[in-house]
Amino acid sequence: MDKDIVTLAHGSGGEMGHALVRSIVDIFDDPILDELEDAALVPFDEQEGHCAGRIVFTTDSYVVRPLFFPGGDIGKLAVCGTINDLAMRGAVPLYLSAGFILEEGLPLADLKRIVASMGEVAHEAGVRIVTGDTKVVERGSADKMFLNTAGVGVVPPGVQISASSARPGDAILLSGAVGDHGLAIMTQREGLRFESSLRSDCAPLHTLVQAMLEASPHIHTLRDPTRGGLATTLNELAGQSGVGIRIEETSIPIHEPVRAASELLGLDPLYVANEGKLVAIVEAKDAQDVLRAMRAHPQGREAAIIGEVVDEHAGRVAMCTILGTHRLLDMLASEQLPRIC
Amino acid sequence: MKYTDEYRDPGIARHLIEKIRKRSTHPISIMEFCGGHTHAIMRYGIRDVLAPHVEMLSGPGCPVCVTADVDIDRAVALAHLPDVTVATFGDMVRVPGTGSSLQEATAAGADVEIVYSALDALALARKDPERSVVMLGIGFETTAPTVAASLVEAQESGVDNYYVYALHKLTPPAMRGILDAGEVRIDAVLGPGHVTSITGWRAWEFLPREYGIPCAVSGFEPLDILQAVLDLVEAKEENSPRVDNTYSRGTKAEGNLVAKSLMKRVFRVSSALWRGLGEIPESGLALRPEYAAHDAKRLFDRLPPLGGGPSPEERGCRCGEVLRGMVTPPECPLFGKACTPARPIGPCMVSAEGACAAYYRYRSA
């Protein structure tokens, strides 16, 4: 039985620890990782097919309950999330690290399934996991597994994408329907027996970004609306760029099961997390070209122009409702809690 | 499952708005009982599109908001007992009592679990027989039946570490309490759709019969609300008070008989203490003696001293008056300044059903 779960011995640095690391490394199957050096020595030159440019570097930690959910798992989330953070600067993601904090008692089969999922999504995305770390903590000190990934990518010359670059007159595009990830997790976590149609949208977005950049060099801002949802992201961008944002409620795509589950739980899908969507702020004259490029990509089929950047109400987001009235779309004050009535 | 879009059609909405404008000639003051309605009205800016003499007043229909301080303090004290887990619906945890909220109590080591149904709380009790699990029975006629179901199951399967702190409240007596107090002019009532799906719309017949005012039971989509407002305006213009049921997809005349009989089996009608409205006779539900073994009141003699700090009202909060429709949230001096959703002082700023939270969240840019 002990063989099938993570134990403190796996974290001791002894034989069992080495075997655990070996089994993870074998799944990732990357020659650089395979060297098991303290730090990965990675090629970075045009001979390797990497374009010249500036390096971007990011890190993110992932905690999610349950570890497996419809549409993904913590491993896929950790790889996609870091790829997406790199992609939101217009970068081509190249190398990732993976740091595992494992709770004593975690089934090894779960760990391997998660590692396999990471390997698979990294391989499909053309990104290499080249270094990593594992630690084991006592039961009760972590929630089954915490996962950190850091990533390195390169921004091609001429690409200047930043959260502070939105300008009045720019168009605001959204790559698809919002709320899927957060509601898939929530309904899974709470054992609410909804239809299985709620699935996380967890996906890497770098090839979508590359397709958009081919359509227009005038993409000013990109951000993936993860925690806090679309509303929070738009508020962040309005604040960081010092501009106002105006959006149309009717133009925001929301899948019907998400809408129905949100109504039932008293949640607003505009504040629910996404893991495979992006907001793009683009020069108005290029908006249609970028939209076309997005819709031609599998991750952007439901893309829509949802609003514009304005020079009024700097730092705030206004929404035109379906009744034609206007109201503030505020930042999320604290986590959304399902209502009683 | 595609039911939300057809109740949000902008074209039909414009048509209804136009009809309301044409039909209403007299000032009319409509109380929306339910916090869900207040929320939808603010979210879609319905106030802004109605004729100026059609006034919407928010009512006491937010279960979290009407829970009295002393009951929150008791819940917090229960959660601090070393062998007790308090299970609650989510939006209760941030409501401040006179000492702390349940969320703050958790940070201080109390055991509080958020559940989506009383049956989840019962499952917690089953999983850990060493602990007493207390479900906070908060909510109107909508939530009482599921809490009743959990008690029946606990009794039948002998889960004797499962308790309910019954704080359920009944909506028609509260509406009656507000009308009897006569503090605000109410010409019509927007009836709560979810509650009425349990009680049946006949539960509102006392409004036209005894008070001469119309009631329109409404769902929570913008078109539901606009249609109900139109019905109320017409009833008022025709001087023919009646109950209209615009929420026929969800409610029947007699309501949900299974749910009602379950409630009757487990609970008896009792007086209840409401924030803002005070003690209202026959407006609450208490456990019947047959279920006394599961009554959380059995644990009360072990409670540490309660709260002790100032109540929200003592800190200047006007939730009580907001709940009676006497003031709108922006009329409270704390609104949006000392009291915001991130740092709420009163419960109306906490709950997704609370009028202050709705006014704050959907204010204009």
A13-43 per-position pLDDT tens digit: 788 888 899 999 999 999 999 998 889 998 8
**Section B271-281 average pLDDT:** 94
Higher pLDDT, A12 or B63: B63
| Predicted local distance difference test score (pLDDT) of residue A2 | 47
Any CB–CB contact under 8 A between B12 and chain A? Answer: no
Q: Is the model's pLDDT at B253 over the cut of 60? A: yes
| Cβ-Cβ contacts under 8 Å, B5 against chain A | 256, 259
Instruction: With CA atoms as reference, report the closest residue to B112 among B85, B138, B89.
Output: B85
Higher pLDDT, A327 or B342: A327
| Predicted local distance difference test score (pLDDT) of residue A84 | 98
How many Å separate Cα A265 from the centre of its chain?
24
Question: Are A326 and B45 a contacting pair at CB < 8 A?
Answer: yes
Q: Is the model's pLDDT at B144 over the cut of 70? A: yes
Question: Are A340 and B64 a contacting pair at CB < 8 A?
Answer: yes
pTM listed for this prediction: 0.83
| Predicted local distance difference test score (pLDDT) of residue A322 | 87
Question: Are A327 and B222 a contacting pair at CB < 8 A?
Answer: no
| Predicted local distance difference test score (pLDDT) of residue A186 | 83
Nearest CA-CA distance, residue A140 and chain B, Å: 15
**Section B127-133 average pLDDT:** 96
| Predicted local distance difference test score (pLDDT) of residue B117 | 87
**Section B145-155 average pLDDT:** 96
Any CB–CB contact under 8 A between A39 and chain B? Answer: no
Q: Which of residues 89-118 of A touch B (CB under 8 A)?
A: none
Write down the residue that tokens 């570490």 correspond to: B161
Any CB–CB contact under 8 A between A330 and chain B? Answer: yes
| Predicted local distance difference test score (pLDDT) of residue A79 | 98
| Predicted local distance difference test score (pLDDT) of residue A339 | 60
Least confident stretch, A12-21, A274-283, B33-42, B261-270:
A12-21
**Section B343-360 average pLDDT:** 90
| Predicted local distance difference test score (pLDDT) of residue A335 | 65
| Predicted local distance difference test score (pLDDT) of residue A23 | 92
How far is the CA of A191 from the CAs of A264, B116, B118, in angstroms? 14, 9, 13
Residues of chain A with pLDDT under 70: 1-3, 45-52, 189-196, 333-341
Any CB–CB contact under 8 A between B64 and chain A? Answer: yes
Instruction: With CA atoms as reference, report the closest residue to B4 among A38, A32, A259.
Output: A259
- Packing angle, helices B118-127 and B144-157, rounded to 10: 30
| Predicted local distance difference test score (pLDDT) of residue A304 | 98
| Cβ-Cβ contacts under 8 Å, A337 against chain B | 90-91, 93-94, 114, 352
Any CB–CB contact under 8 A between B92 and chain A? Answer: yes
Tokens of B72: 């929150």
| Predicted local distance difference test score (pLDDT) of residue B2 | 46
Any CB–CB contact under 8 A between B156 and chain A? Answer: no
Any CB–CB contact under 8 A between B337 and chain A? Answer: no
What is the C-alpha to C-alpha distance for residues B286 and A119, in angstroms, rounded to an integer?
56
| Cβ-Cβ contacts under 8 Å, B49 against chain A | 323-325
User: What is the H or E stretch that residue A25 is in?
Assistant: helix A15-28
Question: Are B44 and A322 a contacting pair at CB < 8 A?
Answer: yes
Using CA coordinates, name the residue in chain B closest to A322.
Answer: B10
Interface size between A and B, measured as CB pairs under 8 A: 122
* Nearest CB partner across the interface for B91, out of A257, A260, A340: A340
Any CB–CB contact under 8 A between A327 and chain B? Answer: yes
Q: Which residues of A185-207 are buried (b: 16+ CB within 10 A; e: fewer)?
A: bbbbebebebeeebbbbbbbbbb
Tokens of A79: 């790889």
Question: Are B45 and A327 a contacting pair at CB < 8 A?
Answer: yes
Nearest CA-CA distance, residue A265 and chain B, Å: 9
- On average, the pLDDT of chain A sits at 91
